[in-house]
Structure 1
Amino acid sequence: MSKRLLVALVSLLVLVLVAGCGKTGGDENSEVKYPEKPISFVVPWSAGGGSDRMARMVADVVQAEGIMPQPLVVVNKPGGSAAVGMNEVATKKGDPYTIIGIVSAQISNPLTTGAEVKASTFKPIAALALDEYMLLAKADSDFQSLGDIVEYAKKNPGKLTVGGTGTGAEDQICLGLLQKAAGIKTEYVPFDSGGEVMSSLLGGHIQLAWANPSEAASQLNAGMVKALGIMAPERIDAFPDVLTFKEQGVDAEFRQIRAISGSPDMPDYAVNALADVFRKVSESERWQKEYIEKNGLTSQYMGPDEFAQAINDAEKEYEEILTDLGQIK
């Protein structure tokens, strides 16, 4: 073989190797270009609710501030206390273009129903906020403090009526924590929505009710109801005069998580890219002003690992509480 031909062959081999190195595998190539099309953001609850409002605000901030080259398309899939939407997303295994909103009820509900699809079924991406819980009474109620409630409940075991949304969900978990910490028994009255809970309280059909600050803001500001305590580690800016449970001698604390997960086994490149997108959303001024402050929430960003741990911890805590309440046999 001539020297010139040998050089040519070597040069050709080098070009082939360089070209090969320039190509990447499917996942790596996707990482560079992801996302290449709109991402479906499934909300397993009805339009207009807390989960829907969060998803639409996230989508608005992403698009308005150009955080991601492709939009988030919010799709409501309500039904079965989130089971319908969760089951659908569970079938999208490995799909980098399907995400789902997650709240605490999606951690607790499967524990009481025995459903196979759980919050932990999905790939954790990020948590964005924590939602506080208030215990409310009608404005003309004789109850003036958490101490009054505890005293009444101890004198009248099982007769104090407390309303909340759903069975085995956040409101009942809050009541379970209160009962355990204060050593009392009450009657929990479940409703299908926060609006029904408030109507029943105002109508005098129940004595107390659980609500998020955003759910009760208009009634509180109008003087129709009063907050007897907030189940948070500290008072919140939206209602600075409302005492925490701990300030009133009841060691009970609960905050609902508001977060986003991906389809089961979503590729890491998609998880990491979206976690960064949602971190930027949480740091934006619009998010803080128009979502966190407006709704009386606590801003709390958690990345994939921290959020995964939060789900694991919550499952254990909720299982214990719901077992005590007789919701898990």
Structure 2
Amino acid sequence: MNCFSLNKVAFAMAVACFAAATAAVHAQTGWKPEKNVEIIVGTAAGSSPDKVARLIQKLWQDRNVLDVPTVIVNKPGGNNSIGWTYLNQHSGNGHYLMIGVVNLSLAYLTGVTRLSYRDVTPVSMLFHEYTALVVRSDAPYKSPADIIQILKKDPNAVSLGVSTAAGGSNHLAAAMALSGAGVDVKKVRTVVFNAGGSSVTALLGGHVDMIALSPSVVISHLNAGRLRAIATVAPNRLSGVYADVPTFRELGVKPYLSKYRAIIGPRDMNPEQIAYWEGRFNRLSGDSEWKKILDENGWEGQFMNSRDLEAFMDETHKEVEKALGELGMLKKQ
């Protein structure tokens, strides 16, 4: 064999080695975003899920976690169903994420949408959020026992504002707590608002007597003394400004609802995309600033990977279905 032939063989071997090395590197790194990443929020700007999305965006930007920009896209309406529909218009595309909430089950079970948690890709659990019952600072009732006593005698005596839908997470959490305490929740005057901020405005203006909403939404009003949290529907007392606020569980009312905050993606995401985002959100769960903000907002951090989140959503769906049925809010599918 002459030198020219040897050189051709050597060149071919070098090309093969380079290709193998490139493939190995690709296998190790897997998928990563190559264009703008959208984090979709199914509620209005200023809502609890919106705050979560913008916090993630800020921390990622501050720490240069991604090589591409992160964009927040609000798609409010239909108890998050508008956002879910938009998400699934990008089936299999890992550049689209959404703040996942328990309404994935609630909206389906109450007949608002045909989409359920089975129609999206579970990616990661972020934390649990619970519901607070809040009144004006000058309200005559000082404790959850006062509210219960009044509503037991006359369910119409106290009006309740909820967001963002009848049968939504705040409505169901309040109904579960009040019903567990012996109140006929079907007779409670309930007013539905399209956002937590709107219910706060109505409460401050005296248009409703009490609101059920995410604790983080009213922290500034609590600190300013304009509003007062009367109770939370949570397994234990929350942190921060809610540390001294009693839970319904302390009154012997066992049911509570986790308004979990998770990350979901469109249907048909592949394992490499899921693994990439699991890694990013696992890293976020250990971030000191993230932990500090969770504590300030009364959020209970718990990272779950895709598989564990799917199992959690399965169990939550069963519990919610049972609760809605007992309260007469379940729509047959």
Please report the TM-score for the alignment, with normalisation by the length of structure 2: 0.85
Hey, what's the Cα distance between the residues in 2 that align with 1:60 and 1:207?
36
How far apart are residue 125 of structure 1 and its match? 0.9
1:157-188 superposed Cα distances (whole Å, 9 cap, x missing partner): 45442221121111111122113311211312
- Residue 298 (structure 1) aligns with: 300
Hey, what's the Cα distance between the residues in 2 that align with 1:53 and 1:280?
19
Q: Structure 1 residues 137 and 77, CA, compared in 2 at 3 Å: closer, same or farther? A: closer
1:82-132 superposed Cα distances (whole Å, 9 cap, x missing partner): 222211211212112221111222331122125232233111111112222
- Residue 254 (structure 2) aligns with: 251
* Larger mean Cα displacement after TM superposition, 262-271 or 244-253: 244-253
Count the aligned residue pairs: 326
- Does residue 272 in structure 1 map to residue 270 in structure 2? no
How far apart are residue 19 of structure 1 and its match? 6.4
Which residue among 276, 285, 295 is the counterpart of 2:288?
285
Structure 2 residue runs without a partner (length 5+): none
Equivalences for 1:53-202 in 2 at 5 Å?
53-113=51-111, 115-157=113-155, 159-165=157-163, 166-186=165-185, 187=188, 188-202=190-204
C-alpha contact (below 8 Å) 1:62/1:71 kept by paired residues: no
C-alpha contact (below 8 Å) 1:176/1:321 kept by paired residues: no
Hey, what's the Cα distance between the residues in 2 that align with 1:19 and 1:68?
27
Structure 1 residue runs without a partner (length 5+): none
How far apart are residue 220 of structure 1 and its match? 1.9
Q: Secondary structure at the match of 2:94?
A: coil
Equivalences for 1:29-68 in 2 at 5 Å?
31-32=29-30, 34-68=32-66
Q: Secondary structure at the match of 1:256?
A: coil
How far apart are residue 250 of structure 1 and its match? 2.2
C-alpha contact (below 8 Å) 1:41/1:72 kept by paired residues: yes
C-alpha contact (below 8 Å) 1:31/1:270 kept by paired residues: no
* Larger mean Cα displacement after TM superposition, 196-205 or 48-57: 196-205
AA aligned to 2:167 is G
Q: Structure 1 residues 301 and 151, CA, compared in 2 at 3 Å: closer, same or farther? A: same
- Residue 308 (structure 1) aligns with: 310
- Does residue 235 in structure 1 map to residue 233 in structure 2? no
AA aligned to 2:51 is R
1:281-315 superposed Cα distances (whole Å, 9 cap, x missing partner): 121122223x3134232222121112112221222
Hey, what's the Cα distance between the residues in 1 that align with 2:101 and 2:284?
18
AA aligned to 1:45 is T
* Larger mean Cα displacement after TM superposition, 246-255 or 124-133: 246-255
Q: Structure 1 residues 325 and 209, CA, compared in 2 at 3 Å: closer, same or farther? A: same
Hey, what's the Cα distance between the residues in 1 that align with 2:89 and 2:204?
42
- Residue 224 (structure 1) aligns with: 226
Q: Secondary structure at the match of 1:264?
A: coil
Hey, what's the Cα distance between the residues in 1 that align with 2:162 and 2:62?
36
How far apart are residue 148 of structure 1 and its match? 1.8
AA aligned to 2:70 is L
* Larger mean Cα displacement after TM superposition, 137-146 or 86-95: 137-146
Q: Secondary structure at the match of 1:48?
A: coil
Hey, what's the Cα distance between the residues in 2 that align with 1:180 and 1:104?
20
C-alpha contact (below 8 Å) 2:126/2:303 kept by paired residues: yes
* Larger mean Cα displacement after TM superposition, 33-42 or 88-97: 33-42
Q: Structure 1 residues 163 and 275, CA, compared in 2 at 3 Å: closer, same or farther? A: same
Hey, what's the Cα distance between the residues in 1 that align with 2:314 and 2:117?
9
Q: Secondary structure at the match of 1:61?
A: helix
Hey, what's the Cα distance between the residues in 2 that align with 1:82 and 1:59?
20
AA aligned to 1:53 is K
Hey, what's the Cα distance between the residues in 1 that align with 2:262 and 2:281?
10
- Residue 208 (structure 1) aligns with: 210
Hey, what's the Cα distance between the residues in 2 that align with 1:33 and 1:135?
44
AA aligned to 1:220 is L
Q: Structure 1 residues 74 and 226, CA, compared in 2 at 3 Å: closer, same or farther? A: closer
Hey, what's the Cα distance between the residues in 1 that align with 2:30 and 2:213?
44
How far apart are residue 10 of structure 1 and its match? 9.6
